[in-house]
């Protein structure tokens, strides 16, 4: 499964990229606001650090505005993927972007029926928000399983980009379900790496190495 960082914070994006574990990046208006960045300057900077798809979200909700904004964002860098909300006007714009060869990430997906329509419109990626579904006392991961099954059944090329990931277990579940990609905060990427037995084992090796050096004196 491809791992995307869900962030607009260039420092953490750079750190994750240096670890060699990220395949792309997703941003949204809330993440840009949190990082205190404007989309016009943040996206080129992220594209200079991340060698892979970088999602930049439109804020228009009418077809003409979405298309105008999306074309402008797509011109920033070849890796820009235009992120479009899952509404009727958004799907019209996705159809246009697809015809123009502009990649799209259809966001705010909360049902399999929405995901089916996004794929029919030609979305490059679909972003189902599993954490936000969990927040409503439903099993978000069931949506990932349903979408993967439906896309497989009909050979849709749209990639499932599991979003709103909150924990390492979400990542493992998404990978088990066959999600093509998962986008997660840097904190989750760092949690994926951690295991207490690694730390205990490393401390033991270093202590034994020190002892061996002392003995050899």
Which residues are annotated as catalytic?
Answer: 83
Chain residue whose CB lies nearest ligand E4P: 164
Q: Which residues bind ligand E4P (CB under 6 A)?
A: 6, 26, 28, 107, 127, 129, 131-132, 163-164, 183
Phi/psi region, residue 108 (left: phi>0; alpha: psi -120 to 50; beta: rest), is left
Instruction: Identify which of residues 158 and 183 has a Cβ nearer to ligand E4P in the complex.
Output: 183
Number of other CB atoms surrounding residue 191 within 10 Å? 14
Rounded least distance, CB 202 to ligand E4P, Å: 32
CB 33 → ligand E4P: shortest distance, Å? 12
Residue whose structure tokens are 């011109």: 75
Instruction: Report in angstroms how near the CB of residue 82 gets to ligand E4P at its nearest.
Output: 13
Distance CA 168, CA 184 (A): 9
* Least Cβ distance, residue 128 to ligand E4P (angstroms): 10
Residue 103 Ramachandran class (φ > 0 left, ψ -120 to 50 alpha, else beta): beta
53 or 122: whose CB is closer to ligand E4P? 53
Cα-based distances in Å from 162 to 2, 62, 87, 171: 10, 26, 19, 8
Least Å distance, CB 136 to ligand E4P, is 12
Measured distance CA(193)–CA(157) in Å, rounded: 30
CB-wise, 135 or 208, nearer to ligand E4P?
135
* 130-163 as b/e: b if 16+ CB within 10 A: beebbeeeeebbebbbbbbebbeeeebebbbbbb
Report phi then psi at 6, rounded to 5. -100, 85
Nearer to ligand E4P, 169 or 205 (CB): 169
**116: its two tokens:** 């089916």
Query: Which one, 97 or 155, has the nearer CB to ligand E4P?
Result: 97
């Amino acid at each position: 499964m491809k791992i995307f960082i869900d962030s607009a914070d260039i420092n953490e994006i750079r750190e994750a990229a240096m670890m060699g574990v990220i395949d792309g990046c997703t941003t949204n208006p809330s993440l840009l606001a949190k990082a205190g960045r404007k989309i016009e300057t943040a996206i080129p900077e992220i594209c200079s650090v991340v060698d892979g798809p970088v999602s930049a979200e439109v804020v228009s909700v009418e077809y003409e505005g979405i298309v105008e904004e999306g074309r402008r964002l797509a011109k920033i860098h070849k890796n820009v993927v235009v992120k479009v909300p899952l509404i009727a006007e958004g799907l019209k714009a996705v159809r246009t972007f697809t015809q123009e060869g502009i990649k799209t990430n259809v966001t705010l997906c909360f049902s399999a029926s929405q995901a089916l329509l996004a794929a029919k419109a030609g979305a490059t990626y679909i972003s189902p928000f599993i954490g936000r579904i969990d927040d409503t006392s439903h099993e978000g991961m069931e949506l990932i399983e349903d979408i993967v099954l439906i896309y497989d059944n009909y050979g849709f090329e749209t990639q499932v980009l599991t979003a709103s990931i909150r924990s390492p277990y979400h990542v493992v579940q998404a990978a088990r379900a066959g999600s093509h990609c998962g986008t997660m905060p840097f904190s989750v990427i760092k949690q994926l790496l951690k295991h207490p037995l690694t730390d205990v084992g490393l401390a033991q090796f270093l202590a034994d190495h020190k002892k061996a050096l002392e003995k050899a004196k």
